Amino acid sequence: MPEPAMGALAGPVSLSSARPWLNRERLINGLLLMALFASPFIAQAVGETYYINLASRIAIVAMAAVGLNLAIGYGGMISFGHAAFFGLGGYVAGISAFHAFDMSLLLSWPITLGGSDFMPGIWLAAMVLCALLALVIGAISLRTSGVYFIMITLAFAQMLYYFAVSWPSYGGDDGLPIYLRNQFPGLNTNDPLTYFLICFVALGLSLALCARLMRSRFGAALTMARLNETRLATAGISPFPIRLVAFVLSAVITGVAGALFADLNGFVGPSMLSWHRSGEIMVIVILGGVGRLYGPVAGAILFVLMETLLGGVTEYWMLFLGLVLLGVVLFARGGLMGLLAGRARHE
Amino acid sequence: MTLSLLFEQLLNGLQLGTMLFLMASGLTLVFGVMGLINLAHGSFYMVGAFVTAWTAGMTGSFWVGLVAGVLAAAATGAVVEFLVIRRLYRRDHLDQVLATFALILIFSEGTRWLFGSSPLWLNVPEVLSGSVALPGGSRYPVFRLVIIGVGVLVAVGLFLLISRTRLGMRIRAGESDREMIGALGVDIAKLYTVVFALGAGLAGLAGSMIGALQSVQVGMGEPVLILAFVVIVIGGIGSIKGALVGALLVGVVDTLGRIFLPSLFKLFMTTADASGVGAAIASMLIYVLMALILAFRPKGLFAAND
Amino acid sequence: MSEAVLELRNLHKRFGALQATRDVTLDLRPGEIHALIGPNGAGKSTLIGQIAGHIAPDEGQIRLSAEDITGLSVAERARRGLGRSFQVSSLADSLSVLRNVMVAVQAIQGHSFRFWKPVDRDASLIEPARAAIARMQLSSRADTPVSELSHGERRQVEVACALALNPRALLLDEPMAGLGPEGSLKLTELLETLKLEVPILLIEHDMDAVFRLADRVTVLVSGEVIAHGTCDEIRTHPRVREAYLGD
């Protein structure tokens, strides 16, 4: 084979022989995304504005699940504590809005810092804090594996939960209302459709990031860390730092989703940190199809629709969620994407 | 800070520890023998509490309720094992977590559907409603002492069961080599059902007794379940001895932390701040303990197998 | 022996009452295949574990190109040029041959924290990986998932993965195990040309293969080196005959 030219025209250097650009999975992915994108506009047109917020909710929980899917599906790290990052992101939005609202200081030492309702700043703060938290949790939890890892991530999230419940400054058990939704320069975030678009773009970016990431060298190493840790080490790459960085990135994505979620609901409380929330995000990943890029989107649509439709019929809708989940785990392991798009493609 | 307060809180810690041991021993046994992580273990605790409170309410006897609660929890465990759990032994931990999470949803909502959302109450039986004097002058409820006593009896019973009986021999064999005991002609399916029901029954026993100390309501099993996870992670998953040591450690540290940390912070803070900060730190204390132990021993204090 | 690529000096390893490795010293020189043989339970696995970095020796030193690597992790040893294959095939079965080999190329090119550029268009990864696969005569199978390969082909992939590291020394753990006569012969031929570029420490059960390939042989019994020398010396060595034939 001649030395191939680099760049877009480097045809011969591909991993495998021609794969069609449009396959069934990509078609399904596009349809899911289009359906999610179109639904609030349809709701707007027919005057059912309640459903716009529902679409925002789907986009946000899908994004949280995209984050978790990076850890579980691509990294093989079964984190049962992602509510910690979801809730931390939420509290960053809530606390910042709280101080911006009553113009008090958030910090007086070592620097003075007031609140802010500037969304990009809040997201950045949520990302940084979630990254730091994930660095600590990951560094301790990743020393272990298997069932220990599951329980330790759960325990760390519980630690934050109980801290939020018993720390009185920001509402404790009662949570913290966000009276005025945080602002994005040039946009009216109070308009449901505008807010949906913000959430949708955030979801799109997180999907694009994951897709790109998993095709990179880092993604190749992470895949090998999941499939065969010994092989990765023998190839000269230490698995621990690869996993840790993936865990941190996963937490950052879930954390931003948490900040968006708090603004959507105008409220943040310990329930965002509870282990039910961790379980819920995990359920969304699995309902959709673990390790599939768009699995979280499919799972979030299914979950929120079940919650809304069944929840409208019976107050015991979680009973049916439990039965569906049990059915998926026992009999349909590929989740919704597995049913729609067939078995996962292996490279 | 009097000596009698310290003594009283130490006993409270031991009582919490024994409840945790009843939960944790079942979890760790099921993991050790079958390699299964079971989130629905708290549901058996809840079943025990509900059946005890309901039966005691109907018959007027705590004791009938207690027996009914333990048996109901064990029976529920056996049925769940037969219908769902045995399909999970060969699956990975992710499937186990999700399926048993689904079981929690089903049990919690099912219980809410049957009993409603308002809590049930259960009275401490007449014979055990008194209190005894502690050194230092304060008095301590007999019922809590009895709970500690039951925990000690169960611990001794489990050690005897595992070290002395045929069932225990099979359990130990199952922990070290799953294929081997199948080859020796032991009916593994039956052994697994029995072990699972035993664990569920112990969780039910804990739930039955706790019903006399706190309200019986949906979701009551979950905080205990997570504490029990902390216990078995600290003790080493699969080890009964680890579960015992971990349970007592967690029970005592948690109880004493909640009482003494706020007082400690009062030494250098205003009273209001100290109680807030103290309570917040105290609620995190056992998780900090767990993180510290794992930092030095990633497989817990008495690691058996993974 | 200053020219040695890989040196073990006075290695000791004890597990409780069992002395698994007792004062083992050996070296691997450029251009040779040095075979390590011994009956079952001789402590070969423990010794390989110590060389590759899975097990820490109690005493002694391991040197690669005169550099002490005793305290390094598996991954660090691999980056310094110690390639190895496993007794039981240790590949990611769902990935293609190329993908398996590319991970090794990635490691020697520096860190793996590159998040943006897609690997499937990265010639600097694909070309060396294809070259390593070609050296093991597997080019036609490069895009096949490992799960579809024959047993012998998997062994070749294992060696290709090790070769992709541009290793200074190869540690091959029973590469012939489970191969039919044909596969065994093919691998033997490949190793014979390979040794000229990279010296090989060969742990092998198949005595025919050992005596055909090895330039020198070391015999391990009960964790201890009882003999080393050329094939002919080993064949007639009384203690080896005693260990293997019981006479």
The pLDDT assigned to A112 comes to: 76
Q: How confident is the model over C32-71, as pLDDT tens digits?
A: 999 998 888 788 888 999 999 999 999 999 999 989 999 8
Q: What is the rounded distance in angstroms from the CA atom of residue A252 to the CA atom of residue B66? A: 48
Interface of B with A in 155-184 (CB under 8 A): none
3-state secondary structure of A244: helix
Kindly determine whether residue C96 and residue A235, on different chains, have CB atoms separated by under 8 Å. Answer: no
Subunits touching A (CB < 8 Å, at least 3 pairs)? B, C
Q: What is the rounded distance in angstroms from the CA atom of residue C24 to the CA atom of residue C226? A: 10
Cα-atom radius of gyration of chain A, to the nearest Å? Answer: 21
B-chain residues near A152 (CB < 8 A): 233, 290-291, 294
DSSP one-letter code for A17: S
| Mean pLDDT along residues C174-192 | 85
Contact of B229 with chain A, judged by CB distance below 8 Å, is answered with yes
Contact of A186 with chain C, judged by CB distance below 8 Å, is answered with no
Contact of A170 with chain B, judged by CB distance below 8 Å, is answered with no
The pLDDT assigned to B40 comes to: 93
> How does the average pLDDT of chain C come out, rounded?
88
A-chain residues near B102 (CB < 8 A): 321-323, 325-326, 329
* Closest A-chain CA to C163: A235
Q: What is the rounded distance in angstroms from the CA atom of residue A331 to the CA atom of residue A145? A: 26
**Partner residue facing C91 (CB), from A4, A231, A239:** A231
B-chain residues near A78 (CB < 8 A): 93-94, 97
Say whether pLDDT at C2 is over 60. Answer: no
Q: What is the rounded distance in angstroms from the CA atom of residue A120 to the CA atom of residue A101? A: 17
Structure tokens at A260: 């968006």
Q: Which residues pair with C170 in a beta bridge?
A: C83, C200
Structure tokens at B247: 């349970």
Phi, psi of A75 (to 5 degrees): -100, -10
3-state secondary structure of A23: coil
Q: How far is B215 from chain A (nearest CA, A)?
A: 19
DSSP H or E run through A319 = helix A317-331
Q: Which of A75-89, C38-52, C151-165: highest mean pLDDT? A: A75-89
Say whether pLDDT at C247 is over 60. Answer: no
* Closest C-chain CA to A224: C92
Mutation test of the interface with chain C: which of A212, A234, A247, A248, choosing the one with the most C Cβ atoms within 10 A?
A234
Kindly determine whether residue C103 and residue A238, on different chains, have CB atoms separated by under 8 Å. Answer: no
* Closest A-chain CA to B114: A316
Cis amide leading into A110 (omega within 30)? yes
Q: How confident is the model over A22-66, as pLDDT tens digits?
A: 788 888 899 999 999 999 999 989 988 889 999 999 999 999 999
Say whether pLDDT at A11 is over 70. Answer: no
In Å, how far are A211, A340, B9, B266 from B274, measured between CA atoms?
Answer: 48, 56, 20, 5
Structure tokens at A179: 């009276």
Contact of A237 with chain C, judged by CB distance below 8 Å, is answered with yes
C-chain residues near A213 (CB < 8 A): 115
Q: How far is A11 from chain C (nearest CA, A)?
A: 9
The pLDDT assigned to B282 comes to: 84
**A246 CA to centre of own chain:** 13
* Other C-beta atoms lying within 10 Å of the C-beta of residue C4: 19
Q: How confident is the model over A162-207, as pLDDT tens digits?
A: 889 988 788 888 999 998 899 999 999 999 999 999 999 999 999 9
Q: What is the DSSP string of chain C?
A: -TT-SEEEEEEEEEETTEEEEEEEEEEE-TT-EEEEE--TTSSHHHHHHHHHTSS--SEEEEEETTEE-TT--HHHHHHTTEEEE-SS--S-TTSBHHHHHHHHHHHHTS-S---SSBGGG-HHHHHHHHHHHHHTT-GGGTTSBGGGS-HHHHHHHHHHHHHTT--SEEEEESTTTT--HHHHHHHHHHHHHHTTTS-EEEE-S-HHHHHHH-SEEEEEETTEEEEEE-HHHHHH-HHHHHHHH--
Kindly determine whether residue C75 and residue A236, on different chains, have CB atoms separated by under 8 Å. Answer: yes
Contact of A4 with chain C, judged by CB distance below 8 Å, is answered with yes
List the domains of chain C with CATH numbers: 1-81+167-247 (3.40.50.300), 91-166 (no CATH)
Kindly determine whether residue A155 and residue B283, on different chains, have CB atoms separated by under 8 Å. Answer: no
Q: What is the rounded distance in angstroms from the CA atom of residue B299 to the CA atom of residue A149? A: 10
Contact of B101 with chain A, judged by CB distance below 8 Å, is answered with yes
**C118 CA to centre of own chain:** 31
CB crowding B229-242: b at 16 or more within 10 Å, else e = bbbbbbbbbbbbbb
Strand ranges (E), chain A: 105-107, 113-114, 176-177, 267-268
Q: How confident is the model over A93-122, as pLDDT tens digits?
A: 999 999 888 878 777 767 777 788 889 999
The pLDDT assigned to A129 comes to: 97
Kindly determine whether residue A322 and residue B222, on different chains, have CB atoms separated by under 8 Å. Answer: no
Strands B131-133 and B139-141: antiparallel
User: Do residues A159 and A78 lie in contact, with contact meaning Cβ atoms separated by under 8 Å?
Assistant: no
User: Do residues A57 and A318 lie in contact, with contact meaning Cβ atoms separated by under 8 Å?
Assistant: no
Say whether pLDDT at A347 is over 70. Answer: no
**B205 CA to centre of own chain:** 9
**Partner residue facing B294 (CB), from A152, A169, A283:** A152
Kindly determine whether residue B283 and residue A163, on different chains, have CB atoms separated by under 8 Å. Answer: yes
Kindly determine whether residue B109 and residue A318, on different chains, have CB atoms separated by under 8 Å. Answer: yes
Minimum mean pLDDT range among A9-23, C122-136, C195-209, C210-224: A9-23
In single-letter form, the type of residue at position A13 comes to V
Say whether pLDDT at A90 is over 70. Answer: yes
Which of the pair, B254 or A9, is modelled with greater confidence?
A: B254
Q: What is the rounded distance in angstroms from the CA atom of residue A169 to the CA atom of residue A262? A: 18
Q: Name the stretches of chain B with pLDDT < 70.
A: 1, 174-186, 304-306
A107 CB-near residues (< 8 Å, 6+ apart):
A113
User: Do residues C224 and C23 lie in contact, with contact meaning Cβ atoms separated by under 8 Å?
Assistant: yes
Say whether pLDDT at C10 is over 90. Answer: yes
Strands C18-28 and C67-68: unpaired
Structure tokens at C88: 């039981």
| Mean pLDDT along residues A279-302 | 93
Subunits touching C (CB < 8 Å, at least 3 pairs)? A
Kindly determine whether residue A150 and residue B99, on different chains, have CB atoms separated by under 8 Å. Answer: no
> How does the average pLDDT of chain A come out, rounded?
88
**Partner residue facing A151 (CB), from B233, B280, B295:** B233
* Closest A-chain CA to C158: A231
Q: How far is C87 from chain A (nearest CA, A)?
A: 13
Nearest to A294 by CA among A224, A204, A196: A204
Say how many CB pairs under 8 Å bridge A and C: 130
Kindly determine whether residue A144 and residue B299, on different chains, have CB atoms separated by under 8 Å. Answer: yes
Kindly determine whether residue C115 and residue A218, on different chains, have CB atoms separated by under 8 Å. Answer: yes
3-state secondary structure of B32: helix
